[in-house]
A and B are shown apart, each in its own frame.
Chain A
């Protein structure tokens, strides 16, 4: 997929997350990076029709539940998601992960992200 097209579609998914989700706002940088990684990876797997359950733990069930909810929302708001090829989904979701890491962690102005304790 053309990079500009992929970025435009990624921006739509990012809009959905900012308006509907809360998982990206955990209060420490390390926590946000884990949330982004686990939830967006599972979302990508689900949208590509792959197994997204890694282990039989409550933590994994939690990430999977967030991912299920997210991919349902993506499909509800953006019909193109269901019609996009697996490769293109991977490209868009990888861009999305990069973008979330940038906005919520690496370029974030939130001064609490680096505090040691909760």
Chain B
């Protein structure tokens, strides 16, 4: 597994150990890219900062919270609305973002008084919101503003309000991952153990490292509720502030994105004895195995099997329609931290897609261990690539599409490589069985877009064909398919809703979910009000 030398980075020799080509016979002990190190001077990294990792990735998906950044308005603005972490109660966390709006004068004379005034104003402007997450930024950290003290003062003067302080300024780590770590530990130290939840099921989990991008959490919640499992709290997508104060009360932590939130799981295991169970919620086989693994823990295998059987029957013919048409597609899988390993093998085994490169901007070496293991020989694995390296890789590998975030996605478009947004999603949710079909559909639409075919013609030099007429996605994708597949009566395109989430919310409102009583084990309906807004009692 030799290190990969980018031509564009020959002048930055330190970059050599950040990329490897996965060989046929070597394993992780032969080469592994470096990771989670300070960005090398001279390389233009595409990373986010620690503040962004804390606030944008983990903090803000909490739904009943005023998220206020103590710093210049740009910090909060640039971490607003680029990820669609929706909530089931009106999307307050997406609609509004708050900043103390520090200016030069505040840097000179201090900004604590202004901060306090802004906190009080924000609470008064939204009296129905009783919780705040207060984020430190570079500017306020460098001048030494004591935001903890201000938070304490406010809580003393407004006893019905709670303020959580996140001290993760932008420079508090090599990348956004430093902020993930800081907010994990801060939440654990400040908030966990301060609330007592209503336990309404024999089976209680925390669902950790799940951010409800376009409804991912709500898809998985439906499965867990169908199994009779209470989700004590979700860290943090669609999560309530108060529920998250009760993380210590679950029997099991079910962990999705280990990159962003393994820290809190590891500490909950150490301090409260709650086991950490890592799962994959993407892909049919991975989701089925994950549900069954959770079911093994509680002894409810029959409940998981019912769901797996029903979901396979409903969605597998649709996945297979796309898989037949995506076989052999070349993809660069360039997401943030965890999806490279959640997805690499499932894309190959369930859609026939060849992942030719994986990268992560802020992952650690542990993420690369997973990613490299799960992709096939010949894959190029890159840590923290700069823009020139990404472009060189695309020219060299000639992928049919890349799956990445907004910034590198726009770069790909400029060199005519189709791109699918797998940070905020194109048409998610992508989680679970139906979600995986939606991802397959989006990949299909991306790869076989007739409009995108036109982009490959350069009118300044290419000859424009005049003998080709109207084309559709299907005429492009089916050109070399066998009649057996083309005429199959079993396979079909996606038939789900434009957005499956409203139906799930309506289903919950019909009070269909039953749970076993924690004392008697008797299965009974738990009303939706309890599922969504159960009372949390404050404890010292």
Q: B345 contacts A25, CB within 8 Å?
A: no
For window 266-287 of B, CB contacts with A under 8 Å fall at: 266-267, 273-280, 285-286
B417-446 interface bits toward A, Cβ cutoff 8 Å, 1 = contact, 0 = none: 000000000000000000000000000000
For window 353-412 of B, CB contacts with A under 8 Å fall at: 364-366, 369-370, 373-374
Q: A58 contacts B274, CB within 8 Å?
A: yes
A62 at the interface (CB under 8 A from B): yes
B305 vs chain A, min Cβ distance (A): 12
Using A65-B293, A69-B296, A103-B27 as known contacts, say yes or no to A110 and B266 having CB atoms under 8 A apart: no
For window 89-118 of A, CB contacts with B under 8 Å fall at: 102-104, 107-112, 118
B251 contacts across to A, CB distance below 8 A: 58
Q: A64 contacts B296, CB within 8 Å?
A: yes
A103 contacts across to B, CB distance below 8 A: 27-29
Using A66-B293, A118-B266 as known contacts, say yes or no to A22 and B31 having CB atoms under 8 A apart: no
A66 contacts across to B, CB distance below 8 A: 277, 293
Using A58-B274, A118-B266 as known contacts, say yes or no to A20 and B286 having CB atoms under 8 A apart: yes
B302 vs chain A, min Cβ distance (A): 14
In this complex, what residue of B is CB-closest to A62? Answer: B275
The one of B262, B289, B370 in contact with A69, judged by C-beta atoms closer than 8 angstroms, is B289
A72 contacts across to B, CB distance below 8 A: 292
Q: How many residues of A contact B (CB 8 A)?
A: 31
**Given the complex of chains A and B, what is the CA–CA distance between A25 and B366 in angstroms?**
7
In this complex, what residue of A is CB-closest to B266? Answer: A118
Q: A110 contacts B32, CB within 8 Å?
A: yes
Q: B266 contacts A18, CB within 8 Å?
A: no
Q: B275 contacts A73, CB within 8 Å?
A: no
Q: B365 contacts A110, CB within 8 Å?
A: yes
In this complex, what residue of B is CB-closest to A19? Answer: B345
- Chain B: number of interface residues, binned into ranges: 35 or more
**Given the complex of chains A and B, what is the CA–CA distance between A112 and B31 in angstroms?**
15
**Given the complex of chains A and B, what is the CA–CA distance between A80 and B280 in angstroms?**
27
A78 at the interface (CB under 8 A from B): no
B258 vs chain A, min Cβ distance (A): 7
The one of A25, A59, A118 in contact with B273, judged by C-beta atoms closer than 8 angstroms, is A59
B252 at the interface (CB under 8 A from A): yes
**Given the complex of chains A and B, what is the CA–CA distance between A104 and B32 in angstroms?**
12
B235 contacts across to A, CB distance below 8 A: none
A20 vs chain B, min Cβ distance (A): 7
The one of B258, B266, B296, B374 in contact with A19, judged by C-beta atoms closer than 8 angstroms, is B374
B262 contacts across to A, CB distance below 8 A: 26-27, 118
B273 contacts across to A, CB distance below 8 A: 57-59
Q: A22 contacts B293, CB within 8 Å?
A: no
The one of A62, A65, A73, A110 in contact with B366, judged by C-beta atoms closer than 8 angstroms, is A110
In this complex, what residue of B is CB-closest to A111? Answer: B365
Q: A65 contacts B258, CB within 8 Å?
A: no
A94 vs chain B, min Cβ distance (A): 19
For window 440-466 of B, CB contacts with A under 8 Å fall at: none
B275 contacts across to A, CB distance below 8 A: 58-59, 61-62
B4-30 interface bits toward A, Cβ cutoff 8 Å, 1 = contact, 0 = none: 000000000000000000000001110
B431 vs chain A, min Cβ distance (A): 16
Q: B289 contacts A118, CB within 8 Å?
A: no
**Given the complex of chains A and B, what is the CA–CA distance between A69 and B370 in angstroms?**
19
In this complex, what residue of B is CB-closest to A18? Answer: B373
**Given the complex of chains A and B, what is the CA–CA distance between A59 and B294 in angstroms?**
13
B36 at the interface (CB under 8 A from A): yes
Using A22-B278, A27-B366 as known contacts, say yes or no to A112 and B29 having CB atoms under 8 A apart: no
**Residue picked from B273, B275, B370, most chain A C-beta under 10 Å:** B275
For window 284-322 of B, CB contacts with A under 8 Å fall at: 285-286, 289, 292-294, 296-297
A21 vs chain B, min Cβ distance (A): 8
B27 vs chain A, min Cβ distance (A): 6
B289 vs chain A, min Cβ distance (A): 6
A32 vs chain B, min Cβ distance (A): 10
**Given the complex of chains A and B, what is the CA–CA distance between A27 and B261 in angstroms?**
12
**Given the complex of chains A and B, what is the CA–CA distance between A80 and B252 in angstroms?**
33
Q: B280 contacts A112, CB within 8 Å?
A: no
A22 contacts across to B, CB distance below 8 A: 258, 278-280, 341, 370
A1-44 interface bits toward B, Cβ cutoff 8 Å, 1 = contact, 0 = none: 00000000000000000111011011100010000000000000
**Given the complex of chains A and B, what is the CA–CA distance between A116 and B428 in angstroms?**
39
A45-89 interface bits toward B, Cβ cutoff 8 Å, 1 = contact, 0 = none: 000000000000111011011101100110000000000000000
Q: B289 contacts A68, CB within 8 Å?
A: no
A62 vs chain B, min Cβ distance (A): 4
A58 contacts across to B, CB distance below 8 A: 251-252, 273-275
B171 at the interface (CB under 8 A from A): no
Using A18-B374, A25-B369, A61-B275 as known contacts, say yes or no to A108 and B252 having CB atoms under 8 A apart: no
B263 at the interface (CB under 8 A from A): yes
**Given the complex of chains A and B, what is the CA–CA distance between A72 and B305 in angstroms?**
14
**Given the complex of chains A and B, what is the CA–CA distance between A26 and B259 in angstroms?**
11
Q: A118 contacts B267, CB within 8 Å?
A: yes
B31 contacts across to A, CB distance below 8 A: 109
**Given the complex of chains A and B, what is the CA–CA distance between A118 and B259 in angstroms?**
12
**Given the complex of chains A and B, what is the CA–CA distance between A104 and B294 in angstroms?**
25
**Given the complex of chains A and B, what is the CA–CA distance between A65 and B300 in angstroms?**
12
A37 vs chain B, min Cβ distance (A): 15
Instruction: List 9 other contacts, CB 8 Å, given A68-B296, A112-B364.
Output: A31-B266, A58-B252, A61-B275, A65-B277, A65-B297, A68-B293, A69-B293, A110-B366, A112-B365
Residues on A lying within 8 angstroms of B by beta carbon are 18-20, 22-23, 25-27, 31, 57-59, 61-62, 64-66, 68-69, 72-73, 102-104, 107-112, 118
11 inter-chain pairs at a CB distance below 8 angstroms, sorted by A residue, are: A22-B258, A26-B262, A57-B273, A62-B276, A64-B296, A66-B277, A103-B28, A108-B29, A108-B32, A110-B369, A111-B34
Closest 4 CB pairs of A and B: A62-B275, A22-B278, A65-B296, A107-B29
